[in-house]
């Protein structure tokens, strides 16, 4: 077990009707609220009106910053920061999924950042001084409601970069807000959760019982509850389980005491989204089984971990370890496909044209040499090709 | 799944040598430190000298409050509060196990409490205004390093009461400090961890995947690592696993979305400690299997949960559900006994003389009617008798 530091100051209010905590969550911070949201789905489900009603009754002054993109862009961060400065905003209220929350984190930190905001996104730093952030979650996926990170894109530069900004002060997580999430985004969101776990689970550390047990629990819960949520979109139990595992998957607890967790697939996927603006979870679903097969072949000493995955997550068994390992990977790929996720880059209209550049950037600084199985830029190109 | 709120502001530094974080952990709070500790084991292992050296180099002014009892008493809280007030203490540094940390939490809150300190212990309240608290953990057991609660005893009144006080700001968790913990206290501490989990695991809520998976993970890790730690007291991996599960067991995460978690055994054990000053974990180990058999017999509709326990925690299987349930309970009792814990009250010199009064107080206000299987005061007496 390796050393670690764990600290999440976020308060989670979880369950049906917990929006009743909104006023008390905002009140300590002040009355000037920047309300951030995405493409307007919160209006369709009546959440926008409900929020505005609470804010109006509470005497808050609201400035709106809607239209935040699914892969949120630096221009939205800049717009949000400007609104905060112009209107003396005291607290940001993000209503949406991971993209809206990620962007709001960067806005919150951007208000106090001296210098160019893209530089803030690109430079290495930890948690930054920031405006307080409260969020209302509407998608079970990124776990942004329970971590300090965010991912911001610059489409002009074909860059999508994760960084630390700030933790939400309060996250309001009501699974009923995900009842209307489309099958496509429910599946993609669950693929994101599964990927977060796989990034931590596939590690050489053998003795982190708590981390590995939580990883297997989250994976089994995702595998159990996604089909139910797809079949019965308003099944509270399935939606609640997906929401609770989305938060824990990014909490750092599944990585307690682990080494060599480089989040390889996230590095590779960020390039896909940066070049083609695809849905993050879809890119991860496509990449993950191909990455698994590639590293299993490249370094058979990691087979034991795949055997554990096959046995403990998929309930498989067998004599031949390599076959068992491959069977577990196939199960995962089949699961994603059965959930309706397009499982090739070709289906998304993506060809080989940028693979070299994308691979070079995914492995900038030789970063992926520190992964569970060290990857070279050539490996990354091979993995992209296997996704065609 | 039921609604819940989760918030733990504590920063955990976990691993070998993380005492290097001590200075930076205390520094934001000020220079006047109240150093709290127990019977002096921290002196034997050299930790006291190491801490004093860091504090001296950092220019801190240290006031000592040693001798905190294993079941910490109100008199120690009063003494600590008085020292804080006399010396203008800015921050409390607790070095020890759950008792020292619990007592330090009550001291931290007691400094700002107006009125009698025993009244603070007895009255219902949430987290209180408090001095900042940093701790260095030396025993894997209570999880006090990662929650806001504490348990304080009043031996004159035969009362031992849990309550909320404050969360540690920082907990420094170095498993090597537990290498010298005796076999007896290692086993008792692990019994405490197991009990915390059983209090949450045995619930009617069937669909809290994350909570149940974490419970089973913690139980399996305890069962795996305690024998190793007993056999090889300086086995880092075993000690590290026990320490990481002790923190998560009390984090509230194993209770996510669960109802009817009354912590029955803790209520019953607090009476044993209040009357006989026994080791908390030993009392819990004695009570838990007897409580399980009692409720299984009283309400067979809860059998499914015991079957799950037998299968998922102990790897048992069988056709007859009641037999399987009982076999799982027997496994737990055998495990405690094999760990060297005296498994009857008789062995501790405890007879029936106070059972009625203890049961009445454990069930004050009819509190245990809300448990997994509702208990009456008579039930509690029966459970005590089964422990003889």
Using beta carbons and an 8 Å cutoff, which residues of A are at the interface with B? Answer: 1-18, 21, 207-210, 212-214, 216-218, 220-221, 224-225, 236-237, 240-241, 244-245, 248, 253, 256-257
CB-based contact B6 A12, cutoff 8 Å: yes
**Chain A closest CA to B265's CA: distance in Å?**
24
Using an 8 Å CB-CB cutoff, list chain A residues near B7: 9-12
In this predicted structure, what is the pLDDT of residue A49? 97
Q: Tell me what the mean pLDDT of segment A277-282 comes to.
A: 94
With contact defined as beta carbons under 8 Å apart, do B171 and B146 qualify? Answer: yes
Q: How confident is the model over A294-306, as pLDDT tens digits?
A: 999 999 999 999 9
How far, in Å, are A115, B294, B335, B355 from residue B387 at the CA level?
68, 11, 16, 11
Using an 8 Å CB-CB cutoff, list chain A residues near B18: 3
- Closest-CA residue of B relative to A15 is B3
CB-based contact A256 B1, cutoff 8 Å: no
CA distance A337 to A333: 6
End-to-end, the C-alpha distance of chain A in Å comes to 38
CB-based contact B1 A241, cutoff 8 Å: yes
CB-based contact A220 B209, cutoff 8 Å: yes
Residue B69: closest CA among B152, B145, B133: B152
In this predicted structure, what is the pLDDT of residue A262? 82
Q: What is the 3-state secondary structure (H, E, C) of A219-280?
A: HHHHHHHHHHHHHCCCCHHHHHHHHHHHHHHCCCHHHCCCCCCCCHHHHHHHHHHHHHCCCH
In this predicted structure, what is the pLDDT of residue B176? 98
CB-based contact A256 B237, cutoff 8 Å: no
In this predicted structure, what is the pLDDT of residue B259? 80
- Closest-CA residue of A relative to B253 is A248
In this predicted structure, what is the pLDDT of residue B188? 98
Could you tell me whether strands B4-14 and A4-14 are parallel, antiparallel, or unpaired per DSSP bridges? antiparallel
Q: How confident is the model over A325-334, as pLDDT tens digits?
A: 999 999 999 9
With contact defined as beta carbons under 8 Å apart, do A246 and A143 qualify? Answer: yes
- Closest-CA residue of A relative to B221 is A209
Q: Tell me what the mean pLDDT of segment A41-62 comes to.
A: 97
In this predicted structure, what is the pLDDT of residue A260? 72
Q: How confident is the model over B116-132, as pLDDT tens digits?
A: 999 999 999 999 999 99
CB-based contact A210 B225, cutoff 8 Å: no
How far, in Å, are A96, B135, B319 from residue A247 at the CA level?
14, 27, 38
**Tokens in use for A129?**
């001084």
In this predicted structure, what is the pLDDT of residue A338? 98
Which three-class secondary structure state does DSSP give residue A318? coil
Listed in order, strand segments (DSSP E) in chain B are 4-14, 32-37, 61-65, 91-96, 133-137, 149-154, 159-164, 170-173
Average pLDDT of chain A, as a whole number? 96
With contact defined as beta carbons under 8 Å apart, do B35 and B51 qualify? Answer: yes
Tell me the domains of chain B and their CATH numbers. Answer: 11-177 (3.40.50.1970), 183-386 (1.20.1090.10)
CA distance B218 to B250: 11
CA distance A25 to A21: 6
In this predicted structure, what is the pLDDT of residue A259? 80
Residue A33: closest CA among A11, A10, A64: A64
Using an 8 Å CB-CB cutoff, list chain B residues near A4: 12, 14-15
In this predicted structure, what is the pLDDT of residue B171? 98
In this predicted structure, what is the pLDDT of residue A360? 97
Using an 8 Å CB-CB cutoff, list chain A residues near B15: 1-4, 257
Using beta carbons and an 8 Å cutoff, which residues of B are at the interface with A? Answer: 1-18, 21, 207-210, 212-214, 216-218, 220-221, 224-225, 236-237, 240-241, 244-245, 248, 253, 256-257
Using an 8 Å CB-CB cutoff, list chain A residues near B10: 7
In this predicted structure, what is the pLDDT of residue A118? 98
Using an 8 Å CB-CB cutoff, list chain B residues near A242: none
CB-based contact B14 A216, cutoff 8 Å: no
**Chain B closest CA to A327's CA: distance in Å?**
23
Using an 8 Å CB-CB cutoff, list chain A residues near B256: 14, 244
Q: How confident is the model over A256-274, as pLDDT tens digits?
A: 998 877 899 999 999 999 9
Contacts of A196 (CB under 8 A, 6+ apart): A143, A249, A250, A254
pTM for the complete prediction? Answer: 0.95
Beta bridge partners of A61: A32
Low pLDDT (below 70) residues in chain B = none
In this predicted structure, what is the pLDDT of residue B375? 97
């Amino acid at each position: 077990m390796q050393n670690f530091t764990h600290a999440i100051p976020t308060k989670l209010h979880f369950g049906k009707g917990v929006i009743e905590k909104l006023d008390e969550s905002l009140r300590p911070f002040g009355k000037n609220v920047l309300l951030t949201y995405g493409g307007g789905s919160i209006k369709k489900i009546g959440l926008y009106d409900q929020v505005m009603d609470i804010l109006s009754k509470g005497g808050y002054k609201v400035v709106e910053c809607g239209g935040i993109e699914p892969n949120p862009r630096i221009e939205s961060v800049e717009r949000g920061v400007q609104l905060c400065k112009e209107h003396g905003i005291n607290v940001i209220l993000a209503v949406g999924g991971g993209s809206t929350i990620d962007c709001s984190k960067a806005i919150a930190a951007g208000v106090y950042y001296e210098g160019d905001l893209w530089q803030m996104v690109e430079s290495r730093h930890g948690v930054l001084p920031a405006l307080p952030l409260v969020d209302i979650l509407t998608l079970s996926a990124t776990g942004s409601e329970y971590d300090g990170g965010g991912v911001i894109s610059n489409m002009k530069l074909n860059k999508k970069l994760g960084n630390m900004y700030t933790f939400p002060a309060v996250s309001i997580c009501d699974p009923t807000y995900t009842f209307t999430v489309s099958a496509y985004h429910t599946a993609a969101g669950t693929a994101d959760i599964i990927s977060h776990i796989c990034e931590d689970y596939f590690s050489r550390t053998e003795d982190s019982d708590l981390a590995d047990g939580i990883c297997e629990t989250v994976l089994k819960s995702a595998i159990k509850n996604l089909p139910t949520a797809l079949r019965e979109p308003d099944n509270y139990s399935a939606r609640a389980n997906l929401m609770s595992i989305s938060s824990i998957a990014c909490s750092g607890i599944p990585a307690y005491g682990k080494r060599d967790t480089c989040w390889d697939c996230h590095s590779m996927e960020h390039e896909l989204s940066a070049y083609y603006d695809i849905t993050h979870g879809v890119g991860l679903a496509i990449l993950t089984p191909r990455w698994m097969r590639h590293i299993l072949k490249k370094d058979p000493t990691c087979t034991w971990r795949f055997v554990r995955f096959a046995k403990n997550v998929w309930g498989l068994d067998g004599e031949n370890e390599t076959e068992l390992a491959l069977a577990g990977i196939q199960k995962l790929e089949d699961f994603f496909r059965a959930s309706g996720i397009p499982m090739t880059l070709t289906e998304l209209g993506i060809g080989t044209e940028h693979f070299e550049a994308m691979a070079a950037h995914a492995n900038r600084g030789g970063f992926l040499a520190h992964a569970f199985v060290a990857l070279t830029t050539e490996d990354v190109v091979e993995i992209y090709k296997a996704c065609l």
